Amino acid sequence: SAQSTTAVRQAAAADTGGSGDGPSEWTLPDSATVSSACATGAPELAVNGVPESAVEPQQRHQPEDSAASPHPNHREMLSYAELELNYNDERDAWSDAMRRVERLTQRDSFALTTDAARLPGNERRNRYADLVPYDWSRVRLAGSPGGSDYINASRLDLRRAGREYLITQGPLPHTSSHFWLMTWQAGSRGVLMLCRTLEADCLKKCARYYPTAQEPRLDFPDVHLTVELLSESPSGPADDPDADPWIERRLRLIHSGGDADDGTRTRDLIHLQFTAWPDFGQPPTGPAAFLNYLAAARAAGLFDDPSAPRLSTARPGPDGPAASSWWTPGTLYGLDPLQELRRMRAQRPGLVQTPGQLRFCFRAIVTGARGLLAAGDGRLPRFRPEDCPDR
């Protein structure tokens, strides 16, 4: 309710010294910490995700009375995500929330460099000049064509969920082989693709880097890899609210060896392409279809092995990996989504770009967590659009 939302907001503001007109701002260690870590070339920066000292927010002081805390532990209390959703909906304040995210991100990224993306020869590997990985969190390729280790991809360490993603732009025609080389070297068993190759049937957003029924085999001799289609389950009709708006492909990745490896090895993986997320918009059915997409990814075993990174071919706006990290039974009680988003943005620029997308993430978090809690077995139930009311 509005009264309970306001009461908890006022209590949180009193505790943190804020005004109560929105979430209080948390602080990060001085940006020089990140700068000096990058300058030393510490090898763990390339492979272990976010350095704790660099981007882990300081813990807020919690009052003794848990009922006055913005992170209550009692089930009868609203979660922080619900409070944020209700607060911004009641005041039509999502634009203000997005501006806070942008302001804090600019502060956090002040000392984060993107030098590798600007090197001669690497610039043409970027789909967008203003969306490139930070040096400290970028993925490094081994044995890449041309001798460069650069790919427009970042390691996204979701420590709370115990997962790691390699999040990348939609491949270009001349970087598709780099994508599959990254997939092979990472040992990944799954790809979550969150865009179509064309937007509005004309604007190309991603090369078709994967095999289809019409072309079931793609060869990438420059990286000694072949990708074969084993099976393909088509997406349902776009005008059917009960249809699944994603395509599941079973692929086989074949490494034919090279100068240092004369053997042939294979790995099977799952490619899930979500087809209902328009660029800079949200799925027309609300969070229901995307929640069901995540349930399909879980059922396919993509989250079974925490040591194998999931791969996501992303584009500027949608933030599926970010949202999926929050959907656990404990999500409703004790997680600050804006704080998590800020931490992820220090690893990969451009995650969530509009007020509408930010609100969508909160709706999905709350709806998904409620479904998990109601199911009681750790599995997402199947959602329908009416399960995700807009207000």
Q: Give residue-wise pLDDT tens across range 158-169.
A: 776 677 889 998
373 confidence band (pLDDT: 50, 70, 90):
confident
- CATH value at residue 237: 3.90.190.10
**Pairing status of strand 203-204 against strand 198-199:** antiparallel
User: Are 149 and 182 within one domain?
Assistant: yes
Mean pLDDT, the chain, whole residue set: 74
Residue 272 sits in the same domain as residue 240: yes
Instruction: For 42-77, write each residue's pLDDT tens digit.
Output: 222 222 233 333 333 333 333 233 333 333 333 433
Q: Are residues 180 and 250 in the same domain?
A: yes
The total of other beta-carbon atoms located within 10 Å of residue 335's CB is 19
51 lies in the same domain as 180? no
User: Measured between alpha carbons, how far is 163 from 324 in angstroms, rounded to an integer?
Assistant: 10
User: 373: domain range?
Assistant: 109-387
pLDDT at site 211: 97
pLDDT of residue 2: 42
Residue 51 and residue 173 in one domain: no
Angle between helices 337-345 and 355-375 (to 10 degrees): 120
Sign of the dihedral defined by the CA atoms of residues 222, 225, 226, 231, in that order: negative
The answer to whether residues 85 and 217 belong to one domain is no
Cβ pair 73, 310 in contact under 8 A: no
What is the value of pTM for the model shown? Answer: 0.77
pLDDT exceeds 50 at position 243: yes
Same domain? 37 vs 127: no
The token pair at 329 is 């039974």
Residue 33 sits in the same domain as residue 141: no
Residues 122 and 88 in one domain: no
Instruction: Tell which of 83, 100, 117 closes a domain.
Output: 100
Tell me: pLDDT of 37 over 50.
no
The confidence score (pLDDT) of residue 75 equals 41
Do 255 and 118 reside in the same domain of the chain?
yes
Which range is most confident: 24-28, 231-235, 283-287, 327-331? 231-235
Name the pLDDT band for 216 (thresholds 50, 70, 90).
Answer: very high
Residue 310 has pLDDT above 60, yes or no: yes
Domain end call among 100, 122, 137:
100
Tens digit of pLDDT for each residue in 350-367? 888 889 888 988 888 888
pLDDT at 68: 35
Last residue of a domain, one of 51, 74, 100: 100
Whether residue 236 is found in the same domain as residue 182:
yes
Domain count, the chain: 2
